[in-house]
Amino acid sequence: AALVQLSYYNRERPFLDPFCGTGTIAIEAAMIARNLAPGRSRTFAAEKWLRVPRRLWDDARAEARDLQQPAPDFTLVGTDIDAEALVIDLEGAAYFRWEDYDKAVAALREAVATLPERADLHWMLGQSLEKTGAPADAAEPYRRAVALAPERVAYRYALGRWEMAHG
């Protein structure tokens, strides 16, 4: 996000990342264009602190939702050597980051079929399936993510949480 903010990009201007790899910077530009708060859908350890009233957290989340913008009519381009894989990857990741989980599931299913070696795509698919009310379908993507990247704590945590709730 800092790289995007250091550039001249804003929601009224086109964005181009000619060497975007997995599209992280392009996705950050899309989030900035929509004014999506980072961490908006996660919980924080500080939420359990007795000194910080729950109301403050709820108010902050409500304010962040109120400040979100609709998807702008802007041009966002990311290119790399494997253009087809990049398009599939960016689409699923963007829908996931925008919390449009129904569209994310469809795009991420295509992405994991095309890029089965990408653990992050499997994890995002599992998360999206849970968010759309299909938690039973999330087990396999979580297992695949852990098999591909066992060192990633978030993937192991998601699988463990799923197994405790559903297994």
Mean pLDDT of 156-162: 92
Cα dist from 146 to 32, 37, 113, 126, whole Å: 30, 28, 17, 11
pLDDT over threshold 60, residue 84: no
Pick 129 or 2 by higher pLDDT. Answer: 129
pLDDT band at 159 (very low <50, low <70, confident <90, very high): very high
Percent of the chain past pLDDT 90, that is, above it, reads: 32
Neighbours of 80 (CB within 10 A): 17
Mean pLDDT of 152-161: 92
Pick 70 or 142 by higher pLDDT. Answer: 142
- Which tens digits make up the pLDDT trace of 49-82? 999 999 999 999 999 999 988 876 766 776 666 5
Q: What is the pLDDT of residue 114?
A: 82
Q: What is the pLDDT of residue 4?
A: 85
Mean pLDDT of 91-119: 82
Mean pLDDT of 37-52: 86
- Which tens digits make up the pLDDT trace of 96-109? 777 788 888 988 89
Q: Taking a C-beta distance cutoff of 8 angstroms, is the pair 127, 96 a contact?
A: yes
How many Å apart are CA 84 and CA 3, to the nearest integer? 25
Residue 125 C-alpha from the chain's centroid:
10
